[in-house]
Each structure stands twice: as structure tokens, then as C-alpha cells.
Copies of this chain bind each other. A is one copy, B any other.
């Protein structure tokens, strides 16, 4: 179970303001449930969980197992919601150094030619056994024409065609059911295909094949991830109170003028999870001149960079701590004869124990310094808890955005730069 403690945030909000926001959150949750709010045609991220399709999990699992057996490298080719969720889960649950399966690399998420150039050079180097690398690629795009992804995919696909005889087994497409550029290629080459449901937007798609195939290839148990999200869905349908309170306090703080919500973790492997949150919240709430900027920091390292600002900068910030209660690690401080660095007083303590005191100390200091703080505590870092975390934040995002009276599911502003860019590129 993930615990949400809003007490250190609620103390900054007047009772009446909180109650008003709480009423809004209650109505907002009803809008989500009754499917009568703005953008309600995009609620497929809930249907996924209310009506789980085990057959798809089975297919994903079996393809992932086959890829894990043969691949040295698995490339995830997608941008925004087409890769941030997978990356968040994979980074959170994979070792820092090496893996027992294929190396997971990313492409099509930016337009650096240098990166693509060097990536191909790396793919052409022999693997650890001195053999030519076995490369698989998963291209993820509803339309197949998102510029960054389509560009990188064209280059990588051509490279793979030159290099491998069996690209029809090496390239997997995750795309819309019908139409779009990838479906044409699938017809031609017979690439395996997974469908992105029409009613699930990119930033809500991590529990569809968009996220689940790369996550399964990384060796993470997608059933545990998925079914714990299902359990969380059911629990919150029954009793949405934790989300209503969280949305209420966040909304009340926004109404009070808070401009930034800083998401902080004390575990470096959760950095990409904050990146997923940035998109989920930022793209959902940042419209009609509204929203709190979702910033991210990884402590304790960023206490030595952004910490000063949080402690004593403008009081326009709230902070959300994502804490992990227990970690699997065996590093303990040992006493030394000569206590040069003065650390002997920590003898026998684990790093996680010390890290947790750093979190507690930071929380106290920032709270006393005038920063409203929400604390989410995960018992452990495993697929179950991450699954729970994902649905929790998806629902929070929808409820909180309805409190702001904005449509959580569109992103009209993203079109502006594209329009300018395509004009500059001379696209007809």
C-alpha cells in the first residue's frame, strides 16, 4: 500500500478553502465515474483496469520472453507518452549496472543526429561474446508520423533491413488499430503489432502495450504491475477518499497562488518516474493559463543545488516527497580505528537508514521553512507498488484537473510549435 500524508500541506490551507476544494474534488470524481466531464471520450485508461484483458498480457509476455532470449539490444522508439512510462518503470526496477536480459536503449525521443549516428556505431560493435549484436526494435506511435519517432525509425529500419534477414521478427509496432503509417508497413512486412486503444491518450498509456512490451522485455513482471493497478482501481472506486483529499489540498494550494509543485525522491532510480509525472500532470493541467509547474529533483544530490531555493526562495512552491520505506541493500557503515571523517557514530547503520533520516530532516526543514509538503510512502520498490502508484496518479490527475475546470485529456498547445516547425521545414 502507498500511504499519502497530506498533513504537512493541509496546515497551510484555511479550513474553508480546503472544504471548498474537497467539494470540487468530490464532484470531479463523480464526473470521472459518470463519464460526463470534459474529454470523457479519453477514459480508456480506466476501462483497461475495470475490464482487464488477460489475453493481451499473455501475448506481450510470450513475445517479450522470445525477445529476451535472442536480443542483445532492444530499442524503444517513441516520444512523450510513447516512452516516458516505460522508461519510468524500467529505470525504477532495473539494476544501475547491467541487466540479465537485453540492454534497453531509447531512440526517436529527440532529434540529435549525433546520438543516432553513435547509436548505430554502437549497434555495429560486437557483443560481449564477440558476435554481431542481435537488435530488436519497438516503434510506438499512434499515427506513425510523429516527426522525431518517424525520422529515427526510418533510419533504424533501413539499417536493420541492410543488416538482418528477418526484420519482420525484429521490429514490433505498437500503433492504432487502423490507419496511420505503421499499419501500411505492417501490411508490407508482417511486423508483429500491438494496438494502442483509441480512447487512451499517450500520457495515460503506460498500462497498455505502449508501456508493457518494453517493461516486459526488461524482465519486469507485467502481471504484478498491471493487476496491482487493477486492485488500486477497485479500491479507489470503493473509497476514493485518499485521492479526493490529495486533489483537494493540491487544488487549495494552487488557488492560494502556489506556482510550482516540486516532486522529490531520495532514490536516484526514481528520476524517470518524476519525468513521467511531469508529463502526466504538466500536459494535463497546463492550459487556459492554469496549472502548477511540475518540477523534479533527486535528493539528496539536489539538496546541494536546489535545496537553498526551496528552503529560502519565494514561498510559491509546494513539494511532493516520494519515499520508499525499505530497500534491498547491504551497505553498512563500519567503524574505523582512526575516525578521520568522524563517521564512526554511524557504525552499523545502513545507507538506506541514513538516507531516510535525510528525508525526514529535509521534510521538517522545508515544512518549517514554509513549504507545504505532501508525502507518498511506498513500502518497497517493486512492480506492485509502481503499478499502484501509476493508477493513483492517473486518477489524481483527472480529479485535480476537473477541480481546475480544465480538460485533463487534450493538449491543444502542443500543436503550435509543430505548425511553426512544419512551415519552416516547407511541409505542404
Contacts and interface: CB of A to CB of B under 8 A. Distances in A.
Contact of A278 (B306, B334, B343): B306
A346 interface: yes
Interface stretch (A219-227, A234-242, A357-365): A357-365
Q: Which among A144, A342, A421 has the highest number of chain B CB atoms within 10 Å? A: A421
A317 interface: yes
Interface string A308-332: 1111111111000000000111110
A153 B341 contact: yes
A394 interface: no
Interface string A79-105: 111001000000000011110000000
A96 B119 contact: yes
A72 B158 CA distance: 35
Interface stretch (A14-22, A45-53, A164-172, A292-300): A292-300
Given A181-B340, A290-B314, A426-B345, A268 B307 contact: no
A329 B202 CA distance: 31
> For chain A, what secondary structure do more than half of its interface residues adopt (helix, strand, loop), or is it mixed?
helix
A113 B327 contact: yes
Interface string A133-154: 0000000000011011011011
A305 B330 contact: no
A1 interface: no
B331 A309 contact: no
A288 interface: yes
A195 interface: no
Contact of A268 (B98, B112, B150, B294): B112
A342 B200 CA distance: 25
A287 B301 CA distance: 19
Nearest to A184: B340
Interface of A: 79-81, 84, 95-98, 109-119, 121-122, 125, 144-145, 147-148, 150-151, 153-155, 158, 181, 184-185, 188, 202-203, 259-260, 266-269, 275, 278-279, 282-283, 285-291, 293-295, 298-317, 327-331, 333-334, 336, 338, 340-343, 345-346, 349-352, 354-355, 357-358, 360-362, 364-366, 368-369, 411-414, 416-428
6 contacts: A113-B331, A145-B342, A154-B336, A294-B309, A311-B417, A361-B418
Given A110-B299, A282-B309, A369-B416, 5 more contacts: A112-B269, A154-B334, A287-B312, A307-B413, A308-B411
